[in-house]
Amino acid sequence: MIEAEQAPPPGVVSEPPPRSLQAGRGRRWVWLGVAPFFIYTAAFLLYPAISILVGAFQDDDGNVTMRLVRELFEPGALNAYWTSVKLSVITALLGGLFGLLLAYAAILGGLPRWIRTALTTFSGVAANFAGVPLAFTFISTIGFTGIVTKFLNDQLGFDLYGTGFKLYSFAGLVIVYLYFQIPLMILVIAPALDGLRREWREAALNLGASPSLYWRHVALPVLLPSLLGAGILLFGSAFGAYATAYALTSGQLPLVPLLIGNVTTGNVLSDPHYGDALALGMVMVLAVAMTGYAILQRKASRWQR
Amino acid sequence: MPYLELRNVTKRFGPVAALDDVTFELEQGEFFSLLGPSGCGKTTALRIVAGFETPDAGSVVVDGKDVTRTPPNRRDMGMVFQAYSLFPNMTARQNVEFGLRIRKRGSEDRSKRARELLDLVGLSQQEDRYPYQMSGGQQQRVALARALAIEPQVLLMDEPLSALDARVRVQLREEIRRIQTELGITALYVTHDQEEALSISDRVAVMSAGHAEQVAAPFHIYGEPATPFVAEFVGTMNRLESAVVDGATGRVRWGTTELAVDAAKGRSNGARVLVLVRPESVTLEPLPNGQGSADVLSGQIVTSVFLGPVTRVKVGTDDGGVLSADVPSSSAARFLVGSRVIARFSAEQARVLDLA
Amino acid sequence: MAAMRRRSRFFTLGWLWLALGTGYFVVPLLATLVFSLKTGRDTYGVTAYKEEFLDPAFRESLFFSLKLAVFTILIVMVLLIPTAYWVHLKLPRLRPIIEFLTILPFVIPPIVLVVGLLHGFRWTPTWFRGGYLILVVGYGVLAFPYVYRSLDAGLRAIDIHTLTEAAQSLGARWTTVLFRVILPNLRSAVLSAAFLTLALVMGEFTMGQLMQFPTFAVHIAYIGQVKATGAAALSLISFAITWIAMLGLLLLGLRVGGRAAQVGGTH
């Protein structure tokens, strides 16, 4: 059974290469085999990354300057970073919570087996549904002329937009982002929930613990690295999201990806290198997050033995 | 008064009856084993005692109290699982302390008791190790210490040694018995390994397809199997399908040979019976000159397998039957494959079971 | 009794959450369907679908994206199949490096990558930047992690070493081994990776828009500014495409799951 799965735990034992292939000539061929991949990666991933890094410290004439990086700390940019972080954290927490509840219900809740399969299959699709189509889906639902908006008004007398709610707002984005955050959480946490051995729960009960004490002392501590790791993944997913936000707000909300988009398409008058600086800032934030994730993954795999 | 009882317990999973009106009674301080092949219901019975399954009918009584409806975390029992039951996020000592922590014992009190128990199972050096740092045998010792820490009324063990190496298994089972005797705790033990059950139990219940075939002390289970199943399952047994020739004097006919079997006395002539003889009760003599007589088993050696202290010699009798005999290995050289022998067993040593 | 009561209480709670979840995920789709069928205040019909299907820009953008998808799949497979194979077989030391590279898409999301590509390749000739090649190479980078993991999982499931050594002992050159022995056994992993790449490219918006290419998603966004019902119809079509891709995976008996299943670039 093949699955697109998470990175294997560190410490996977690698087999020694067969003796027949250790001959010098054989080795050279082998390096040739993987060279195209590395060349490609270097050219189209590393080189662009470096251009951003370099560009962030350059001005129009090519001189080295810190001006652009300093501009990141102007209120405009800072606000964008702050809003992006806020949005990412909130959707990570909410997505994490609801995702965990749904995954728990399907996997450990004693429900029929097909529910779990249905949930993971749907999550696989929903996690990919993000972007422009998702935005229009929600516009059709709770937009100003949305079906549900009308339903609430006509059938229940509840004026959604009268409460000041707007889909093209921070709150609206949160609601829409959850549509791909929750499935992502489900996909990530399902294996960890599977890893909770039945014997642990039974042993805990046998020793006198109630189910909630079992969760407090055993299940949650064991799950914690995976939960935190999943949370970071959700954070990264929201932080780097562009299409959904753009389609919903036409680039009007102060979010870093939208800002970068505006600068790049020339909608906003500014130094083109400003986009580089913004992008660099994003990479820094995400790099920190990913390092945290890698560390947590290492810890989580310890319990799997 | 029995200390732990399963009374008329029935449990069904779908159309299959895992347990069918089963009753067991354990005395206090007794080491009682449930022995049988996979699917016989022994684990189900244990889990019902522990409270992880509820019976469809019947009850579980401990020290006079009916606990059938009591949830598993309120029964005063300690359970050792087959594997993987230690909490991975806790050290050995913390694992052992867990039950005490739930019962709100003070931290000094807890560590003292935990250390005592880890010492009892021989792991005082490992108290700060995590499960993933310990071998299977060590983990099971910690599991045992953890179950005993709460001073339970009953100790339950679900094939605790099945996942371990052979050598560790033998070592650990003796220790389990030693500790159980020392503490005087009532123990219910589940296993499919008959050597294990016979060597450490006070009594054994041999189970098959949801019911008990025989409940007796190991000596009796081995020497006096009550049903063909028990005879098959426990030890190696020669099964001779015979017919009673003379119920008054106890003679049966197996194939074309008439044999004296005391246990056949009192049965009607012509009745079909199963004569059971252990290989170690069969003696062999070389038969240099061909034929024996009609009331003596003669045949040719088919195989000779070295088993260590004894050599199991299989004899193909002249009338087509097969008989196994265990011969001390030191004298096995006389019995080469292909040579002719006479096989004998004394009239008192055979058991007889009725065939349908 | 208490144990049984507790279990049934949670039973209902589990159903409750799943019901709420189903509501949250299904209602928007249904609403979009209804919305896309509106032709006036209270009239319904398939006008929106008809209009979109007849719109030449719809067909053009759809085929454009499909074309890009095919090229991306080709490039990625040509690069990654040998790489995954060699790393698995002879260069296990490179694994950590490759796995680091597969985490990069989260650190360098499409919005960042597109800035880097635009900036870094400013000096390249127009046929590279203006023609869609630059977009395809960008997509390739985005697809790497998912494709690599799929191939890696597939390689781990078959015993690469034994198969290779058996073939070599019978006299096969490495190209024969790769094409006649390994690839046929990797079929489902390769197909799975292809489907994931397809879904990725079909849904990708960020890079297409910022590099000003008429991809399918860009087309939907444009329609959205003009006709809400049309955009709703197109969104459902896009969703259907994703579903078909995933169903394709399911039919191959593969499980759709794992962290890698979320495809970047779409959001």
CB contact under 8 A, A243 and C205: yes
Mean pLDDT of chain A: 82
* pLDDT-derived band at B7, boundaries 50, 70, 90: very high
- CB of A259 within 8 Å of a chain C CB? The answer is no
Q: Which of B43, B54, B102 to mutate to test the interface with A (most CBs of A within 10 A)?
A: B102
Query: Which residues have CB under 8 Å from C236's CB, separation 6+?
Result: A133, A137, C29, C32, C33, C36
Taking the CA atoms of C86, C91, C97 and C99 in sequence, report the sign of the dihedral they define. positive
Summarize pLDDT for B247-259 with one digit per residue, the tens: 888 888 888 888 8
pLDDT at A7: 35
The helix (H) or strand (E) run that includes residue A26 is helix A24-41
CB contact under 8 A, C259 and A188: yes
Q: How far apart are CA B231 and CA B237, in angstroms?
A: 6
Task: Answer for the pair B69, B104: CB distance below 8 angstroms, yes or no.
Answer: no
Q: How far apart are CA A193 and CA A215, in angstroms?
A: 12
Question: Chain centroid to CA C14: how far?
Answer: 31
* pLDDT-derived band at A109, boundaries 50, 70, 90: confident
CA B347 → CA A28, A287, B272, C205, distances in Å? 81, 85, 18, 92
Summarize pLDDT for A168-221 with one digit per residue, the tens: 889 999 999 999 999 999 988 988 888 888 899 999 999 999 999 999 999 999
Q: How far apart are CA B300 and CA A113, in angstroms?
A: 59
pLDDT at A19 over 50: no
Contacts of B70 in chain C (CB under 8 A): 2
Least confident of A39-43, A256-260, B85-89, C43-47: C43-47
The helix (H) or strand (E) run that includes residue B298 is strand B297-306
How close C63 comes to chain B (CA, Å)? 53
pLDDT at B331: 87
> A157: helix, coil or strand?
coil
> B8: helix, coil or strand?
strand
pLDDT at C24 over 80: yes
CA dihedral B343, B348, B349, B350 (to 10 degrees): 80
Residue type, A218: V
Residue type, A19: R
Structural domain count, chain C: 1
* pLDDT-derived band at A1, boundaries 50, 70, 90: very low
Q: How far apart are CA C212 and CA C61, in angstroms?
A: 12
Would strands B257-260 and B203-208 be described as parallel, antiparallel, or unpaired? Answer: unpaired
- Quick check: is C129 in a domain? yes
- Quick check: is C249 in a domain? yes
Task: Answer for the pair A180, A240: CB distance below 8 angstroms, yes or no.
Answer: no
- Quick check: is C200 in a domain? yes
Question: Chain centroid to CA A215: how far?
Answer: 26
pLDDT at C52: 83
How close C78 comes to chain A (CA, Å)? 9
pLDDT at C182 over 80: no
pLDDT at B249: 87
Q: Is the pTM for the entire model greater than 0.90?
A: no
Q: How far apart are CA B82 and CA B74, in angstroms?
A: 22
Interface subset of A 203-232, CB within 8 angstroms of C: 211
Q: How far apart are CA B133 and CA A218, in angstroms?
A: 18
How close B166 comes to chain C (CA, Å)? 30
Q: Which of A197, A198, A202, A207 to mutate to test the interface with B (most CBs of B within 10 A)?
A: A207
Six-digit token string for A115? 């529910």
- CB of B309 within 8 Å of a chain A CB? The answer is no
CB contact under 8 A, A202 and B81: yes
- Quick check: is C11 in a domain? no
- Quick check: is C203 in a domain? yes
CB-nearest to C165 from A18, A29, A146 is A18
- CB of A33 within 8 Å of a chain C CB? The answer is yes
Summarize pLDDT for C195-219 with one digit per residue, the tens: 888 888 988 999 999 888 999 999 9
Contacts of C5 in chain B (CB under 8 A): none
CA A19 → CA A12, C86, C175, distances in Å? 21, 15, 19
CB-nearest to C115 from A101, A128, A279 is A279
Closest by Cα among A101, A196, A197 to C14: A101
Contacts of A136 in chain C (CB under 8 A): 32, 220, 224, 228, 231-232, 234-235
Closest by Cα among B4, B6, B32 to B202: B32
- Structural domain containing residue C70: 46-264
Closest by Cα among B106, C154, C14 to A104: C14
Calculate mean pLDDT across residues A75-103. 92
pLDDT at A11 over 50: no
Q: How far apart are CA C139 and CA C105, in angstroms?
A: 11
Helices (H), B19-58: 42-50
Taking the CA atoms of B210, B216, B221 and B226 in sequence, report the sign of the dihedral they define. negative
Contacts of C110 in chain A (CB under 8 A): 240, 242
Count how many residues are written for chain A: 305
Quick one: what percent of chain C has pLDDT higher than 90? 18
pLDDT at C241: 84
Closest by Cα among C194, C214, C234 to C63: C214
Interface subset of B 67-106, CB within 8 angstroms of A: 71-74, 77-79, 81-90, 98-99, 101-103
Q: Is C121 left (phi over 0), alpha (psi -120 to 50) or beta?
A: alpha
Q: Which chains are within 8 Å of C by 3+ CB pairs? A: A, B
- Quick check: is C2 in a domain? no
Summarize pLDDT for B164-177 with one digit per residue, the tens: 998 899 999 999 99
Q: How far apart are CA B147 and CA B79, in angstroms?
A: 6
pLDDT at C251: 74
- CB of A192 within 8 Å of a chain B CB? The answer is no
Summarize pLDDT for C146-174 with one digit per residue, the tens: 888 888 888 877 777 788 788 888 888 87
> B1: helix, coil or strand?
coil
Question: Chain centroid to CA B337: how far?
Answer: 33
CATH number of the domain that C146 lies in?
A: 1.10.3720.10
CA dihedral C134, C136, C140, C143 (to 10 degrees): 130
Closest by Cα among C199, C87, C73, C206 to C140: C73
CA contacts within 13 A on the Cβ side of B57: 10
- Quick check: is C246 in a domain? yes
pLDDT at B356: 62
Q: Which residue of C has its CA nearest to A52?
A: C116
pLDDT at B9: 94
Query: Which residues have CB under 8 Å from C188's CB, separation 6+?
Result: A2, C154, C252, C253, C254
Please state, as a whole number, how many other Cβ atoms lie within 10 Å of the Cβ of residue B243.
Answer: 15
Please state, as a whole number, how many other Cβ atoms lie within 10 Å of the Cβ of residue B39.
Answer: 14
* pLDDT-derived band at C145, boundaries 50, 70, 90: confident
pLDDT at A64: 78
Six-digit token string for C58? 């719809």
- Quick check: is C78 in a domain? yes
B16: β partners: B13
How close C2 comes to chain B (CA, Å)? 6
> A59: helix, coil or strand?
coil
CB–CB contacts below 8 A, A to B = 76
How close B51 comes to chain C (CA, Å)? 9
- DSSP states of C95-144 as a string? HHHHHHHHHHHHHS-HHHHHHHHHHHTTTS-HHHHTSTHHHHHHHHHHHH
Q: How far apart are CA C163 and CA C150, in angstroms?
A: 19
pLDDT at A289 over 70: yes
* pLDDT-derived band at A97, boundaries 50, 70, 90: very high
Summarize pLDDT for B315-349 with one digit per residue, the tens: 998 888 899 999 998 888 888 888 889 998 888 88
Contacts of C242 in chain A (CB under 8 A): 125, 128-129
Q: How far apart are CA A202 and CA B141, in angstroms?
A: 18
Q: Which residue did the predictor score with more confidence, C168 or A17?
A: C168
> C71: helix, coil or strand?
helix
Query: Which residues have CB under 8 Å from C45's CB, separation 6+?
Result: C37, C39
How close A139 comes to chain B (CA, Å)? 46
